[in-house]
Structure 1
Amino acid sequence: MPVTLDRERFVATMKEQAQIGGTEGGGLHRLALSDEDKEIRDWFAAQMDAEGLETRVDEFGNMFGRRKGTDPDAKPVLVGSHLDSQPYGGIYDGAMGVIAALELVRTLNEHDIETEHPIEIVNWTNEEGSRFQPAMQGSGVWAGAHSLEEEYAKTDADGAVFEEELERIGYKGDEPVEPREEYEAYLELHIEQGPYLEENDKDVGVVTGIVGFTWGGLTFHGDADHSGPTPMHYRKDALVAAADVITQIRRIPGTLGDRTVGTVGYVDVKPNSINIIPDEVTITWGFRDPDDEIVEEAFQRVLQEAEWAAEREGVEWEWNERMRAPSVTFSDKCVDAVQEAADDLELDSMRIFSGAGHDATHLHSVCDTAMVFSVSENGKSHNESEYTSWDDCYSAASTIVNAAVKLAGGE
């Protein structure tokens, strides 16, 4: 028989966490290593202590809580996500995965259910990458994808240093940032952040993998000059070159694949005055696709477009790739456990590839991994209007809890 979560408690806990960093628009503003992040971390630590978990915090602020299994030699099953948010984001993104992991432990304790394998729950540091880059930072350092010292030195837009901020909020732990043992599996629950489950009238998504992506920046250097007396043919306008490339980033995906997407999410114009021709403009690119070769082609195309735009406008340009993540295909063992859990709960599911990066991207290199998606109404995310009904939240949480129990050898 499937394990049954306390729906009322799960919803109440989701609402409780949403108050920490909650916005007037009903969203969440809880940036990594902010005061609000400290508050939610303190809250989460208290919840783990209340359930009798063995807790630890590593040197990068990743938080773990372990429930013992009956076999002391069995490898643990890891379940979790992240508690940081985007600027004025939604209350479900990331946080629901941590709350579901907490409810997993609460439910096992409440019903005296033992598991052969230990179950460990986790809150990863700075998954969002909105204040400090890159995204999925904590899991990336833990899994060996990033250098600890290099990530410690990262700064935010105001010049605050990551390591100093981690120390300021009291979450630079003593544990090494690495797997301290082998893991049986990792499961992560997340909202879909896309329209496919809703469009197909499904209850839950069985995630089979994650798209690959490239993030980077382009800077164009022109000449600042008076916008009135300067003839058009004298101008070296950095913004014109940048605008040409922005348009192409919107168009490139349509020439590559059905799942290819491209975004310019940041523009910085200097001196940003109505009466001055812009002399320096920085924009970002982001391309994603399940096929790594398509991601590489998009990357090469944007560099070519930048070169052509700079030549047309007579400006200089430079670029840097800030992050590259290969696509990931999850293990059959974990995907099948999620599918069986959804079937046992009589939920109408579909297999789906994630269009967004998640901590599971890095965990895939450490152990067998899979994810569960809940329905996202209208596919909205990363803003205050992000919405998933409590029924859909509960269905997804129930799925990951039962999948984790299966993998952990629940009795």
Structure 2
Amino acid sequence: MIDADRLWHSLTTLAEIGAYDDERTGLRGVNRLALTDADAAARRQVAAWMEDAGLAVRVDRMGNIYGRREGTDPTAAPVLTGSHIDSVATAGAFDGCLGVLGGIEVVRTLNERGIRTERPIEVAVFTEEEGVRFGTDMLGSAVAAGRLTLEYAHALTDRDGRTLGAELARTGWAGDTDARLDPPYAYVECHIEQGPVLAEHGVPVGVVTGVQGISWQEITVHGRAAHAGTTPTHLRADAGLAAAQVILFLRELVDSGEYGELRATVGHLVVHPDLTNIVPARAEMTVDLRNPDDAQMARAEAALAAYLRELEGSRAGLTFSTRRMAKTAYVAFDEGVQKTIAEAADEHGLAHLSLLSGAGHDAQEIAALCPTAMIFVRGEYDGISHNPREYSTPEACAQGVDVLATTLLRLAGAVHV
């Protein structure tokens, strides 16, 4: 059993880095976008905890951090665990952080109990998992797994034009080791569920079967600025109106039931020139599509593209441009690692169920390199996440990390107790 109080102290201490008072909820939230000063400070704290736990820390050219606990066979491929510590702008204390700090807590526990493993165990912190600053989610793990190139990632810019490569250098997290990760023996990620399923069933642990497909696009609507009082409605090319029509169309796609378990979100929308008495000349919006069926996802994307063409033809002076931000297919996790997680939960007397993840995770990228699965920990308040109300209890967090510890031990091979 891990030290539940120590794990909770780590979680609450890290949550103070980038903390803010959220006016909407009246709660303390976390704003720690990737490679901001707050993220850099959090990285320093986590790296210090790794070193205190005896881990050998290395940083790659993508800024991914790895802490290694050597095994009795240092030539063996390691068992990898971890997650991310960057956040959205309105986050809670658990998303990603539980997986990183849980991994460190497992190492502390092994040290205290004198347990050695045959295989090395490594704890990872992946860069820019959220994707909210540089526009591509699971970025650090995607480069580590080879799906995206280091050059592509370094050239990505935030909304102020700062490149990821420059921000790595500015914050001191441009490492010198190869960003392409040698295939681990296995990867296990512990994460808060970010959904209501475990709470609804009264179950503390989820064994994650895979991650649904994710599609991110940026759509720019080009219209024509005009005076709000003098321009007749039928002569307007209103970019704001067109953006609203796209939002309604996406909801119609979802409600139709014709595209499987499709979910659609427009999370960013801004109009230009953004003035009260001017018809918008341009609107910029993002579209987030999720679907566990890749074929249904492709059909939904095609329907959206056709609708944009239809809108273009409906009004003179109205055009659309699109940019692909990110796309990942449905990923199925390894059945053997899932079985090991389920057996570990049974050993701790914890009920569990199998479920698909609706959110994206670093595990879906690392699954391309090695057998991979995830442990979900129950959240409270209907599993709300990306919100200061995100919460899991100390007991639930400890239970999930206990399962993680036993799973890692079985995969790495305990040789001395």
Is residue 2:100 matched to residue 1:93? Answer: no
Of 6, 15, 18, the match for 2:15:
18
Q: What one-letter code is carried by the residue in structure 2 that aligns with 1:404?
A: L
Relative to structure 1, the CA distance from residue 53 to residue 74 in structure 2 (aligned partners, 3 Å threshold; closer, same or farther) is same
Q: TM-score, normalized by length of structure 1?
A: 0.97
Is residue 2:357 matched to residue 1:360? Answer: no
Moved more, 153-162 or 361-370: 153-162
Deviation at 1:258, TM superposition (A): 5.4
Q: Which residue matches 1:319?
A: 322
Q: Is the CA contact (8 Å cut-off) linking 1:5 and 1:103 kept in structure 2?
A: yes
Q: Is the CA contact (8 Å cut-off) linking 2:204 and 2:396 kept in structure 1?
A: yes
Deviation at 1:312, TM superposition (A): 2.5
Q: Which residue matches 2:411?
A: 407
Of 137, 140, 158, the match for 1:138:
140
Counterpart Cα distance in 2 of 1:184 and 1:225: 61
Map of 1:149-298 to 2, 5 A cutoff? 149-179=151-181, 181-254=182-255, 255-257=257-259, 259-298=261-300
Q: Is the CA contact (8 Å cut-off) linking 1:241 and 1:306 kept in structure 2?
A: no
Q: What one-letter code is carried by the residue in structure 2 that aligns with 1:320?
A: R
Aligned sequence identity (%):
40
Q: What one-letter code is carried by the residue in structure 2 that aligns with 1:182?
A: P
Relative to structure 1, the CA distance from residue 42 to residue 74 in structure 2 (aligned partners, 3 Å threshold; closer, same or farther) is same
Q: Which residue matches 2:57?
A: 55
Counterpart Cα distance in 1 of 2:243 and 2:305: 12
3-state SS in 2 of match to 1:139:
helix
Deviation at 1:122, TM superposition (A): 0.6
**Unaligned stretches of 5+ residues in structure 2:** 22-26
Of 391, 397, 401, the match for 1:393:
397
Counterpart Cα distance in 1 of 2:183 and 2:30: 35
Deviations 1:241-273 (CA, angstroms, capped at 9, x unpaired): 111110111221232355321111111201111
Q: Is the CA contact (8 Å cut-off) linking 1:242 and 1:309 kept in structure 2?
A: no
Deviations 1:338-393 (CA, angstroms, capped at 9, x unpaired): 11111111111110100011101110101110001111221211111111122211
Q: Is the CA contact (8 Å cut-off) linking 1:331 and 1:370 kept in structure 2?
A: yes
Counterpart Cα distance in 2 of 1:9 and 1:99: 10
Aligned-residue RMSD, C-alpha? 1.2
Q: Is the CA contact (8 Å cut-off) linking 2:34 and 2:133 kept in structure 1?
A: yes
Q: Is the CA contact (8 Å cut-off) linking 1:237 and 1:313 kept in structure 2?
A: no
Q: What one-letter code is carried by the residue in structure 2 that aligns with 1:244?
A: Q
Q: What one-letter code is carried by the residue in structure 2 that aligns with 1:41?
A: R
Q: What one-letter code is carried by the residue in structure 2 that aligns with 1:403?
A: T
Q: Which residue matches 1:122?
A: 124
Map of 1:22-101 to 2, 5 A cutoff? 22-24=19-21, 25-101=27-103
Deviations 1:81-132 (CA, angstroms, capped at 9, x unpaired): 0011110211100011101000010000010011111101110011111111
